[in-house]
Amino acid sequence: MGFIEVRRVPHGSATTESGLTKPPGDRGTNGGQVAARQVILAWVIPGSRGIIPRLSLWKGRYRMCGIVGYVGDGEALGFILEGLKRLEYRGYDSAGVAVLQGNRSVVRKSAGRICSLEKGISGESLEGTLGIGHTRWATHGAPTDLNAHPHTDCHGDVVVVHNGIIENYQELTAWLRDRGHMFTSETDTEVIPHLVEEYYSEGQDLASAVRQAALRLRGSYALAVMASSEPGYLVAVRQSSPLVVGLGEDENYIASDIPALLGRTRRTYILEDGEMAVVARDGVTVCDLKGAPTDKPVFQVEWDPVMAEKGGYAHFMLKEIHEQPVALRDTLAGRLDGGRVVLKEVSQSSEALRESQRVFIVACGTAYHAGLVGKHLVETLARVPVEVDLASEFRYRDPLVLPGSVMVIVSQSGETADTLAALREGKARGARVIGITNVVGSSVARESDEVIYTRAGPEIAVASTKAYTTQIAALALLATRIAELKGRAIPAGFMEALNALPVAAERAIALDDRVKEVAKRISQWDDVFFVGRGPDFASSLEGQLKLKEISYIHAEAYAAGELKHGTLALIIDGVPVVALATQRTVFDKTLSNVMEIKARGGWVVGVVNEGDRGMHGVCDLLLEVPETHPLLAPVITAIPLQLLAYHAAVLRGCDVDRPRNLAKSVTVE
């Protein structure tokens, strides 16, 4: 349990320069709790997700971690703990609170779940009517007491909680260190209170200091900020990470997600990117980052708590499919610099990567399929031979790991028993181990020599979706880094395509309606086949696994050229076949295989690059995906295949998020 006690530090005379139309505490132009122009969005139908396109809060913009804040007549801590518990599904490796007591902020934070924090503060009197809280899903720095939020400035006056990723934190940290600021954590977040402190110490008020600081941040952030020297209000800022202001009676709230508010209010302001709210007991004012006031309508939440937890989607899997553009952006954030890859995480492995003669990629299930894509990436870009192994095979097959080999371990959870055993086996045989995982501080993270985090945020559905596509993105970064170290030129267009993956993913999600048509047909069959060549074969394997695990439809994936060696016998009238054909170099070959299937009566869904006419008139239905570099196509083709599995499972009445016999993390052999 961490403990930071903060004393008030005078900052000279605070002037009101926030640019807001009314000073904090006043009922602002936005009308506080009872604005005349209140808009009640009564058309929101509980159980439907029709509202989503109307609100940028949920529009593909999901974040890990949870934020809450309270100001009012009541006890801040009560709301903060209640809100954090409702957000625990967003992140749960550490948690913290800050409560204003008189003229000082008392900060308590601890690694572990919210119940550990609660236990730590039980028996303490943390009374106060203004405070903020956070539940964390680590991205920068291990889940420790010190790295938990809130973070404070040098004097403990400015206190901040943050969701998102600050891409330029290293450059800001260096600048702030030069100016005498002392840092105590490994997080990207800690630059924020120090930056605010810089402007605050110039005599600006808190709101305006936060606004100035926000203008210098690059990346994504939702912030809640308090200062003991200005005890009347909280400041909330949103940039590419959701943030909501809850409107109560003699109290107001901040939350990163609506579920946190539902115990108290359904009346909210949904902040947009580049908006800042000053939240006082008796009023809320909203402005943009230039200080110009914003006219906010009140949004009346009609969702039930369970639905709100899923961001309005019917299932976590669907929500996580929709999170992929943001998850990919986070994976790439700060790791691409013009045409180069910046992977400081593997800097100590540079020598091993440069000299590597063989790379092993070892994983299970979906992560193994990402590894198969990784093989194409590393072999094509870096020209190093790659062996991809299922962890359960690798550990028992007496693998030929010669000293100097590099081993890449891929695991969403970082706790899969077979994968961990393979990691230990590889290490014992002298391999240099690089982990790719989503969970900071997991066993894979701790036991690997170095680790690249996928930063996909918590994945709750058993079926892996955003973890898979971000694993491929991380493998693409690593493959590019190996190629650079080996002095190999990166093919034209590859870096641009990597950078553009989030946008392409967004467009692939838009295929949803067309995918539903395919799902209607497929959900009525008991056997489905997936075929493809090269990276498309890896995608076929992932497509069939997804379909099997959640819809319980039997599915098989084959390298398209292999069908005629046996499986073609199973293609009879009407059998659904999903044929992936995004790889131009083998397009004609795959087309021939599709013709063979059609000749036997198969019902073929082609997954092709947008505008590619080659399969028109041949396939029964086409899913045209945005074209990317062929090596990256599996990131994009995964999305309609995930949606296909999802809709088929829903049509068959399956328990999508918790398929039978399966667990999210397989910690037994």
Residues that bind ligand M6R (CB under 6 A): 364-367, 411-413, 416, 419, 462-464, 549, 665-666
- Interatomic CA distance for residues 363 and 369, integer angstroms: 8
- Interatomic CA distance for residues 21 and 661, integer angstroms: 58
Report in angstroms how near the CB of residue 411 gets to ligand M6R at its nearest: 3
State the Cα angle at 352 between 348 and 356, rounded to 5°. Answer: 155
Report in angstroms how near the CB of residue 435 gets to ligand M6R at its nearest: 11
Q: For the residues of 495-518, what is the DSSP string, one character each?
A: HHHHHTHHHHHHHHHTTHHHHHHH
CB nearer ligand M6R, residue 409 or residue 632: 409
Cis bond leading into 150, ω under 30°?
Answer: yes
Q: Which two tokens stand for residue 355?
A: 């000299």
Could you confirm whether 546 is annotated as catalytic? no
Query: Which residues on neighbouring strands pair with residue 4, listed in sequence order?
Result: 107
| Chain mean position to CA 544 | 24
Of 625, 619, 582, residue with least CA distance to 603: 619
Torsions phi, psi for 662 (to 5 deg): -115, 155
CB nearer ligand M6R, residue 35 or residue 317: 317
Question: What residue type is 453 in one-letter code?
Answer: Y
Contact between 413 and 438 (Cβ < 8 Å): yes
- Interatomic CA distance for residues 618 and 636, integer angstroms: 22
Determine how β-strand 576-581 pairs with β-strand 554-559. Answer: unpaired
CB nearer ligand M6R, residue 227 or residue 641: 641
Write down the H helix ranges in 462-564.
466-485, 494-499, 501-509, 512-522, 535-551
Contact between 62 and 313 (Cβ < 8 Å): no
The catalytic position among 486, 589, 598, 664 is 664
The catalytic position among 65, 364, 619, 654 is 65
CB nearer ligand M6R, residue 100 or residue 528: 528
Could you confirm whether 664 is annotated as catalytic? yes
- Interatomic CA distance for residues 68 and 255, integer angstroms: 4
Q: How far, in Å, are 231, 518, 520, 532, 605 from residue 576 at the CA level?
A: 64, 9, 11, 14, 8
Report in angstroms how near the CB of residue 324 gets to ligand M6R at its nearest: 14
Report in angstroms how near the CB of residue 658 gets to ligand M6R at its nearest: 11
Of all residues in this chain, which one has the CB nearest to ligand M6R in the complex? 365
Q: Would you please indicate which residues are annotated as catalytic (active-site) residues?
A: 65, 664
